[in-house]
Structure 1
Amino acid sequence: MMKTLCVAVVVLSLTSVCQPVSLACEKLLKPEDKGPDLSGIWYFIAMSSQSCWVPTLLNTVAWPSVRVNITSKDTPNIYNARHDIKIYGYCSNYSDTFLYQNNAMFDVDSDNAPSGEQEVLLQTGCPDCHVVKSDEFAGILVLFSRRKTVTAAELKEFETQTECLGWSKPQVFNSDHNYENCPLIDDDNIDASGLPTKFFQRLKNTYTEPLKCLAENLLYYPSVAYNWAQQGLANIWPF
């Protein structure tokens, strides 16, 4: 990815220097250098992944809007996060507890000890945003903001972070964050039988996104196989 960016810069600017892109990546992939204020409401803005299938299918089928309300608990550095999720007018919610230390978040066990994979907060120029990098599902990058939407420039910076990682182009998620009077999908008295039809209609209207993802994978995996084979032959018959 960096080589591609360098070539583009060379062609467009007629210079052989790619230092600004390298410096941008070096900064954007560093963890937060100060402890941010995590408490309050955060809105799920966009997601990228090492595999384009994760955010693409989530957005082209479910198209969720997500709000996270974080509150500190009595134990230092321990927080509670309530997640409100809305899909086609139906809502669901759940809560979990996490530990924040050294610019990273961890799930905790019954003794509030860290467990599982860490989630790292990366640098961002957005003043009221968090960029969270997780190793779940082979790698996920999520942009959260205290606002329901962000500016084009802030979204572009997030896209640059994904390019630096060589990950998929971000999918921007639903910004309908009205969770009042929203029927709970797990309520036995609520009829949610129409959801599969809405999933299909959404996919029908956005089918080009999965096709783009499929095309990326068809181009990516043969290249990986070729490079692997080339490296293997080089090890057997070094020149």
Structure 2
Amino acid sequence: MKTLCVAVVALSLISACRPSSLACEMLLQPMDQDPEVLGRWYVIALSSNYCWVASMFNTVLAPSIQLDVTSAGKPHYYDVNFTLKVSEFCDSKSIQFFQKSNMAVEVRSIDDVPKTQKGAIISSRCQDCLVIREDGLVNMVALLSKRPNVTSAEMKEFEVQADCLGMYRPQVLNADFDLENCKPLTNVEVDEKFAAHIPVRVRNMFSGLFTCTSEKLLYYPRAIFGWAQHTLSNIW
């Protein structure tokens, strides 16, 4: 009986290979209160409304991205230090952002009052995750977690959220967060080990572009079914 219920719900969620509007409404609920954003976060996965954006970024660079968020000394304003690791090289950049309820947007200073909402935090059942959406010339959505890795169920939910936003299958980023022995990108000299991987990464880029374009119709129904199955398993 339980299997039959799962199948019925999964079928109701799939319409033209997309989640139903009810499923998307559940998964894209805005935050109704300020989430806890302070501390260290790891960028787990990225998705975009353009297939090539996340695919090229991930296959060519294979990056790991770590964020350290601290208070900027004013309510709702935060300092964020981004650390990007590519192979054995690291680079850091600091920005400030404003966050209140489901709104999240980069600002020039703590005196800057955001007038338009270009970024939003979407609800997630993952207790130590953030799902951040940014709208612009290229729309992006990112899954962040306090852990370097998330469970398959948490990833599946994010994949369906991305599809609800009309985006492609998320690219899972590298989880190498050992930053102790990083070489600075400012003095980067491409070593033989890194250079040897470039042709492979370029081939992977073209393969990734083909895959993310062709698999969308085939992949998401399975992801939606898996998400529905996991959801109902917590009910019965």
TM-score band by shorter chain is: 0.7 to 0.9
Counterpart for residue 127 of structure 1 = 127
Q: How does 1:176-195 map to 2 (within 5 A)?
A: 176-187=176-187, 190-192=188-190, 194=192, 195=194
Q: CA RMSD in A?
A: 2.7
After TM superposition, give the deviation of residue 18 of structure 1 in Å: 4.5
Amino acid at match of 2:123: Q
Indicate the SS of the match to 1:114: coil
Counterpart for residue 203 of structure 2 = 204
Q: Which has the higher contact order (CA 8 A, sep 6+)?
A: 2
Counterpart for residue 112 of structure 2 = 112
Counterpart for residue 43 of structure 2 = 44
Unaligned runs of 5+ in 2: 1-6, 217-236
Percent identity for Structure 1 against Structure 2: 35
Indicate the SS of the match to 1:147: coil
Counterpart for residue 28 of structure 2 = 29
Amino acid at match of 1:192: V
Counterpart for residue 56 of structure 1 = 55
Bigger radius of gyration: 1
Amino acid at match of 2:183: P
**In structure 2, do the counterparts of structure 1 residues 13 and 102 end up closer, same or farther at CA, with 3 Å as the change threshold?**
closer
Do the aligned partners of 1:65 and 1:86 also contact (CA within 8 Å) in 2? yes
Question: Quick check: 1:154 aligned with 2:150?
Answer: no
Counterpart for residue 68 of structure 2 = 69
Q: TM-score normalized by structure 1? A: 0.77
1:189-222 CA distance string (max 9 Å, x none): x4236555433222335642122245579xxxxx
Do the aligned partners of 2:45 and 2:142 also contact (CA within 8 Å) in 1? yes
Amino acid at match of 2:87: Y
Q: TM-score normalized by structure 2? A: 0.77
Write the distance in 2 (CA, Å) between the matches of 1:105 and 1:14.
Answer: 33
Aligned residues: 205
Counterpart for residue 5 of structure 1 = none
Unaligned runs of 5+ in 1: 1-11, 218-239
Write the distance in 1 (CA, Å) between the matches of 2:96 and 2:46.
Answer: 22
